[in-house]
Every structure is written in C-alpha cells, then in structure tokens.
Structure 1
Amino acid sequence: MKPILSIIIPCFNSEATLDTTLESVLNQKYQNWEAIIVNDGSTDGTEEIALHWINKDDRFKYFTKQNEGLGKTRNFAINKSCGIFILPLDSDNQVEESFVQDAISIFEANSNIGVVYGHAQYFGKKNGFWEVDDYKLEKMLVHNYIDACAIYKKKFWEEVGGYDENMPYQGHEDWEFWIALGNLNIVFYHLNKIAFKYFVSKNTMSQLFTDKIIVQNQDYIVKKYSRQYHEQYTKAFFRNLDIDKLNSESVLVKTSKDLLFIILFRIKKRLWNK
C-alpha cells in the first residue's frame, strides 16, 4: 500500500538519539507512513542504528550520501518520498503518538488546509512547554516561531522549489520555507496541543547560531522577500508613526534597507503582543 505520509529524518552523527526518534515514529497511532532516513555523511554509528530499524520494519527506508547540510538533505529525502504529506523530523526529536492521526483527520476534513502544526515539549538540557502562536506572515517575516516538525502537503514543497539550498548557512531553511508558503497564501492550521518533543543539548543547531550566521541568513531572506517585507510592514509602520521621533532618526535613513530595519525594530514588540 502506498504511504500517505512520508516522515523525513536527516541524520548527522545521530547515534545518541536516533533510536528514540525512530521509536516515536513506530509508536504512531496512524500507521500508513514511510520514514526516510538519510545519513548526511555521519562518522559515528548512525548507519548501524538505521540498518537495524530498516530490518525491523520495511516502512523505514535508508539512504546515505556525502555531507551537504540540512536543506539539501531534506530535499534529497523528499525527492525519494512517495507520500502525499511530508513530516520533517530531526533525528533527536520525538513525534507525539497522536500528532499524525490528528493532522490527517484535519486535512481530510478541510481540503483548503496546507500545513498542520502544534506546540512542543522541551527535553534534555531544557524542560518546559514551547507554546507557538497562529501563523501570520507578518510575524514570520520578523522571526521563525514554528519548528520544521509540521505536516504539510508535498505539492506545496514542489511549488516553492523545496527548501532553499542557497542560504549562506544551514539552520534557517524552515524559516524561509514557511515564508515561501505564506507568500502563496497557504492555510496553516494551529493544532492547539503538543505535536512533538524538542531535544535541547549544547549541540542543538539553534544553540550553535552565531551573530554572523543569524545576520547573514536574515539578510538573505530580507533580500529574497523584499517585496513582501515592504508590503507587510510599511502600512504597519505608518500606522504607528511617531513623526518627531522619525525626524530625529531620519539622518539614519539613507537606504531602503535602513528603513526596513527601523520598521522591523519599531513594530516587533507590537506584533508579538497581539
């Protein structure tokens, strides 16, 4: 039977966490899935663990390739997939057992929905509840607040050309992808419950971001979506304009990029307090 869902699991030196990640896949209430494990040039025992799981259940598929980073590895795996829906799952996270079943039911009930996502539970070096908000393009342009672990229709991945492989540094591919889908007016459904468990360690990618990585990736996204930034923020900026303050700052506004960053910083607090 052809799988409805393809679970995409990139791996790089994942021997410490991969077992529990794949166990969470196997324990799903929804069972019509395939899991595509891609070894992105690991040098540890990742392959041995992956081979154990493909021998245990033939819904697990395994591929290996040279190290190319997260975006290219996700695209590689999705190109190998057969499902109508895609669920990216990092090799140290764990999907909640009812998430897929809940999401598929939502897709079946409303054909207009393109993405289903939910909250997360931290574990590892950090504990607690990661509560995410409803999807709004204007908020997503400021900062990525939705993890890659969401279920979406594969046809939309095809429509936007997959995860952007030209980002200066890996780690923000999902942010750019959510902006791309929002730009197509894809409908996001916020499942108001925990969808997955998010592992935090000193090697978690978000913990390794330097200011240089963040700034260069932000700059890349701003340039790529300059029209969207302009459309979403100029109206909000002028609705909240302090003319005297702007005049005192006007010496700083020499380029459209200067204006953009004033817009972002001036309204960021307002957006997140909505």
Structure 2
Amino acid sequence: ATRLLWQVLAAPRQRQVAQLRAWWGWGVAELDYFKDEVLLTPNRGVAHARNVGIRRARGDWVCCLDGDDMIVDTYFLKAMARVAAVAGTNLVYANQQFFGESRWQWNVPVLRVDDAIVRGPLPLMTLFRKSLWLGTPYGFDEALPKGHEDWAFWLQLTRLPLQSYKIEEFLTQYRFKKNSKMRNRERANPEVPRLMRCLFADLYPVRKLLIDHHELLKPSGFSESVVMDVSVSLHLFPLRATPHLWNGMIMQAKGDLEAAIRSYNRSKAVAASFDWQGAYRLWKAMLLLPEYSDGAAREEAELRARWGDEQFSWYATDVDGEVLPALKST
C-alpha cells in the first residue's frame, strides 16, 4: 500500500492535484479530505472488494476499474460536463475499445432493461452516483458464486429511477485475453448465469427460471467449486433466500430430498414477496416423497392462489412433466 501511494501514484497525482488547485482553488483541507487511499481486504472476491471501496469513498461518483483496464483521460471531464448540463444524470457510460488479444470495438447499446436481462449491458468503467449503489439492497452482490457480479449490479440498478447518458466516443479500454481468469471461469462454471438469474425472480419470466432450475437439478448442474462457494454464501448470508434455494437444488441433485426440503423451506421463509422459487421447489420436492403428501397439497394450494389455476397448470410442468389439470370448480 505504501509503495502504491508514494511511488506508483505519487507523480501522476501531483499533476492532478495541481490541476484541481487551478480549477477550484482547493486548499489543504479539501485535498486532505479527498486524499488517495489503498485499502487491503480479506480475499472474499471482487464484489466484496468493490463494496468496501465504494463504502469508504467520499465522493458522489464511483468508477470501478480493473487493474489491467484503462480509461481515456478525458472520460471523467466529458461525463461531468453532461452532469453539469443535466443535474439529474446519475449514470454515464461510453463505448469501449478492446486491446491486448483483440481490437474489437464495443458500441455499447443504449441501456434498456430488456437488453440487460439477456446480457451484461454496460462496461465495468461506467460512472454512477454513489446514491445508486446505496439504493440497491446488496451493492455488488457478494452472495453470487464465481463472477457476473457486474451484471448482477446493473440488474439491481434497473429497479431504480435511472437517468443515464451515453457518450458516443470510445473512452474506456478493456484488455482482452482468450485465457483470462474470467473466461476460464466461465468455461469451467457455465451454471453461474443460471444462478445469477435466480436472484431476480421479479425480472425474469417464470418459465425462464424454471428452465434454469431444470438444468441446475441435473447431476452435473453444479460444478464442485460452485458447490463450495454456495456453502460460503449460506454461511455469510443466512437470511438471503437464494443461497438456500441453490443449496436445496444441490441436495436434490445428490438425491437427499429430506435435506433439499429443509433448504427449500428456509428459502421460502425468508423470500421476498415476489420470489416464488423456494415455495415452488418445496412443493416439487414434497411430491417425490409420499410422507409429505399433505404438505405438498398445502404448498400447491398456495401456488395456485399466487398464480391462478390455469397459470399454475402451465408452470407446474417444470419443463419435463405432464401438464397438471386445472382444478374444476364445484
């Protein structure tokens, strides 16, 4: 930390400090308030490190930047020019130039929720007000195993009143490696996007999530490293519904239905009002054990009340079963 502050960062920061003094007349007190800091954190993943840094940050705006990526030196100035002109702006991004093993140019689409649920919609270096981060329930979600924390963060932001602006220039630069840690992880853990979607039962259609459940419940649905990460998430976030849901699916895939039912029941107990997943998986698991027939009937009645009779009969196929008949009125 000392080397970073006083050797690596010292010379460029001196030039920046001189510029700040010239622009705003900052004195010692202002410069001390916004002094550089290097924070050392336990190795709990990228999401944890970013949350620690953002929580500590004193400014109104945040830009996350990986160590091997870059931004053009005019990026912040052009972003703040927009903010000065339209004060309500709370998110600014630009196009992205790849470098390293690719020269591809990403002309980032205008931010739309329907695009965001399909793929990560924004570069990591997107500028956002700290108030947006504070307005999310989890910031960068530390419960999510093995990556996609950026995508999950942008999805959380789509629930908030965004006033975004795109700078039509290539002002962010991303180092591309064919065998980067991220790409190797995506190849080794293809289930992670399915896990991420389970965090957003309010954004993804029921049938889409049921397909994800179906794939995760296969014997090879969870890689061993993700199983370990889920156990950590359970330990760190016992009041979150989704880690219990994931654990239930892991137990069910292993054939331990009793343990799966316990996990699904916990997931249901702490779930948000819009999150049906724990209740649904609890019902489906109970159907597989005759001794739980009464419990399964109660869970089915609750699900029918939630969705309505005809919608329930459609969802009840769970991808791979016969359509259940609708209840007939008497």
Interval containing the TM-score (normalised by the shorter chain): 0.5 to 0.7
Change in CA separation of 1:122 and 1:225 when aligned onto 2, cut-off 3 Å: same
Amino acid at match of 2:110: D
Residue 168 (structure 1) aligned to one of 145, 161, 177: 145
Distance 1:219 1:197 in 2: 28
Amino acid at match of 1:62: V
TM-superposed CA distance for 1:146, in Å, is 1.4
Query: 1:137 and 2:113 equivalent?
Result: yes
Residue 223 (structure 1) aligned to one of 183, 188, 198: 198
Partner of 2:45 in structure 1?
69
Change in CA separation of 1:200 and 1:54 when aligned onto 2, cut-off 3 Å: same
Max Rg structure: 2
Distance 1:140 1:96 in 2: 25
Change in CA separation of 1:109 and 1:202 when aligned onto 2, cut-off 3 Å: same
User: Aligned ranges for residues 31-42 of structure 1 at < 5 Å?
Assistant: none
Give a deviation string over 1:165-222, Cα, whole Å, max 9, x none: 100113x111011111111131221211112111112453442233453423x22332
Secondary structure of 2:135's aligned partner: helix
Alignment RMSD: 2.6
Partner of 2:88 in structure 1?
112
TM-superposed CA distance for 1:123, in Å, is 0.9
Distance 1:257 1:81 in 2: 45
Query: 1:98 and 2:74 equivalent?
Result: yes
Aligned residues: 192
Partner of 1:123 in structure 2?
99
TM-superposed CA distance for 1:162, in Å, is 1.4
Percent identical residues: 20
Distance 1:91 1:144 in 2: 20
Distance 1:97 1:221 in 2: 34
Distance 1:256 1:169 in 2: 30
Bigger mean CA deviation after superposition, 174-183 or 125-134: 125-134
Secondary structure of 1:189's aligned partner: strand
Partner of 2:169 in structure 1?
193
Give a deviation string over 1:56-80, Cα, whole Å, max 9, x none: 4374321223322110000111111
Secondary structure of 1:157's aligned partner: helix
Secondary structure of 1:52's aligned partner: helix
Distance 1:255 1:143 in 2: 27
TM-superposed CA distance for 1:109, in Å, is 1.6
Residue 159 (structure 1) aligned to one of 115, 132, 135: 135
Query: With structure 2 as the length reference, what TM-score do the two structures score?
Result: 0.53
Bigger mean CA deviation after superposition, 86-95 or 204-213: 204-213
TM-superposed CA distance for 1:149, in Å, is 0.6
Partner of 2:58 in structure 1?
82
Secondary structure of 2:48's aligned partner: helix
Distance 2:8 2:126 in 1: 23
The 8 Å contact of residues 132 and 157 in structure 2, kept in 1 or not, is answered as yes
Change in CA separation of 1:111 and 1:145 when aligned onto 2, cut-off 3 Å: same
User: Aligned ranges for residues 201-240 of structure 1 at < 5 Å?
Assistant: 201-202=177-178, 204-211=180-187, 213-216=189-192, 218-230=193-205
Give a deviation string over 1:9-51, Cα, whole Å, max 9, x none: xxxxxxxxxxxxxxxxxxxxxxxxxxxxxx7xxxxxxx74555
Bigger proportion of residues as strand: 1
Secondary structure of 1:190's aligned partner: strand
Can you give the 5+ residue segments of structure 2 that lack an aligned partner in the other structure?
A: 15-34, 209-313, 321-330
Amino acid at match of 1:66: P
